[in-house]
Amino acid sequence: MSAASAQTGPGPVPDTVLTDFLMAEGLAQPGETATWTPLAGGVSSDLWRVDLPGRSLCVKRALARLKVAADWEAPVSRNAYEWAWMRFASRHRPDSVPELLAHDPAAGLFAMAYLPPERYPMWKAQLLYGEVRVATAAAVGKLLGSLHAASAGDAALAEEFATDDNFHALRIEPYLLATAAAHPGLGDVLQGLADRTAGTHLVLVHGDVSPKNILVGPSGPVLLDAECAWYGDPAFDLAFCVNHLLLKSLVVPGCRDDLLRSARVLAEEYVTCVDWEPRAALHQRAATLLPALLLARVDGKSPVEYLTHEEHRQLVRTVASTLLRAPASTVADVVAAWGTALAAPAEPGTRPY
């Protein structure tokens, strides 16, 4: 830590790049005590809460190697695209992202406002605790659709977010291609979905619309973690989010009906915003991509941590494989097929779904 840096308080002390960043950007003053607390987050970045006298903020830095068991590397330049995506979102839906404070693209880090969990609970935590509100899913669908609509046909954004290599490293390869390697019998189908997704460039995609990256704020959903931002296929964002609602219906059986309804309503509200292409085309791409993403969260490079029972993982494989071989036309059709599978009697000797 340089002599001019703020003092660090109790707890882990990050390296001088981070402490000096606060000083250089005027976010901390000489002599102030800064307490750095690591925050639980995703696998691709380090995230800290920084408490300073009378205020708190967050600092995020991208990692070159992601924190997963599989070998998964990605360029730290994605941090700059995340910052740029959040600036775009703040222009169109100011309440949909935290306040942005400062950015150092060379170091791959930025600072933003800290949103306290008592006012901004994580949607994932609510869902897993059985607090399922269909209105929240509807608001997420509407927000996502409105941001996609605001970016559709924007040549400047398409040029700024021509991040095909990033998206390949963070999404196409670990989700679709790695899953294809694990399921050779579905390899051609999954390769085709990967090629179609990579070749579709219609709107500014967030790339990680997951309940763990959505806070339920007093003014509506707040989106985080946009480091996969890419001008590409809007069906990816829609399918990615619905996927999580379906998977959680396996582990929160008491809320199954509300989770499935949330999945349907999210898609319905999203599609009301679609004016850049025929809605049927968007539906079809999302419906065919959704089972691939279901399978990816079991057998890809980033399996969900809460599917701990093999019978649950096998159900995912069975339903996803069937839908990949006989594709559905709409997201609602996929949700219906998923619900039917969950309602089927369990095999003798297995845990009920």
Average pLDDT along the chain: 90
Q: Which of 90, 113, 136 is the last residue of a domain?
A: 113
Asked, for residue 350, whether it belongs to a domain, the answer is no
Work out the pLDDT band at 71, boundaries 50, 70, 90. Answer: very low
SS3 category, 307: coil
- Tell me: pLDDT of 70 over 70: no
Helix, strand and coil content of the chain, in percent to the nearest 5, comes to 50, 15, 35
Q: Which of 113, 142, 170 is the last residue of a domain?
A: 113
Q: Which of 78, 113, 148 is the last residue of a domain?
A: 113
User: Which residue matches tokens 């639980």?
Assistant: 40
- How far is 62 from 44, CA to CA, in rounded Å? 6
Are 99 and 131 in the same domain? no
Which range marks the domain in which residue 165 is found? Answer: 123-343
Asked, for residue 333, whether it belongs to a domain, the answer is yes
Are 164 and 286 in the same domain? yes
Amino acid at 120: Y
**Closest C-alpha among 242, 239, 219 to residue 289:** 239
Work out the pLDDT band at 227, boundaries 50, 70, 90. Answer: confident
Q: Compute CA 193 distance to the chain's CA centroid, rounded to the nearest angstrom.
A: 19
Average pLDDT of the residues in 291-299: 98
Are 51 and 155 in the same domain? no
Q: Report strand pairing: 230-232 vs 203-205.
A: antiparallel
User: Which residue matches tokens 């949700």?
Assistant: 335
How many folded domains does the chain comprise?
2
Asked, for residue 83, whether it belongs to a domain, the answer is yes
Average pLDDT of the residues in 80-100: 95
Are 218 and 259 in the same domain? yes
User: Which residue matches tokens 């003014």?
Assistant: 219
Are 285 and 234 in the same domain? yes
Asked, for residue 246, whether it belongs to a domain, the answer is yes
Residue 108, pLDDT score: 82
SS3 category, 47: strand
More confident residue, 262 or 1: 262
Give the 3-state secondary structure of 262-303: HHHHHHHHHHCCCCCCCHHHHHHHHHHHHHHHHHHHHHCCCC
H/E stretch holding 84? helix 78-92
Asked, for residue 25, whether it belongs to a domain, the answer is no
**Closest C-alpha among 12, 58, 8, 5 to residue 30:** 5
159-184 residue pLDDT tens: 999 999 989 988 999 999 999 999 99
100-134 residue pLDDT tens: 999 998 888 899 999 999 999 999 999 999 999 99
- How far is 206 from 224, CA to CA, in rounded Å? 9
What separation in angstroms does the CA of 121 have from each of 51, 221, 261, 264?
19, 10, 21, 23
Are 353 and 342 in contact by the 8 Å Cβ rule? The answer is yes
Asked, for residue 118, whether it belongs to a domain, the answer is no
Q: What is the CATH number of the domain that holds 167?
A: 3.90.1200.10
Residue 347, pLDDT score: 62
Are 268 and 140 in the same domain? yes
Are 351 and 342 in contact by the 8 Å Cβ rule? The answer is no
- How far is 171 from 302, CA to CA, in rounded Å? 10
Residue 323, pLDDT score: 98
Asked, for residue 176, whether it belongs to a domain, the answer is yes
Question: What spatial distance separates the first Cα and last Cα of the chain, rounded to whole Å?
Answer: 53
User: Which residue matches tokens 């963070």?
Assistant: 170
Average pLDDT of the residues in 317-345: 95
Are 105 and 159 in the same domain? no
Are 215 and 120 in contact by the 8 Å Cβ rule? The answer is yes
Are 78 and 166 in the same domain? no
Q: What is the CATH number of the domain that holds 107?
A: 3.30.200.20
2-48 residue pLDDT tens: 222 344 444 555 678 888 899 999 999 888 888 999 887 555 678 89
Are 143 and 101 in the same domain? no
Are 155 and 101 in the same domain? no
Sign of the torsion angle spanned by Cα atoms 193, 195, 200, 204: positive
- How far is 308 from 62, CA to CA, in rounded Å? 28
Asked, for residue 281, whether it belongs to a domain, the answer is yes
Are 199 and 80 in the same domain? no
243-286 residue pLDDT tens: 999 999 999 999 999 999 999 999 999 999 999 999 999 999 99
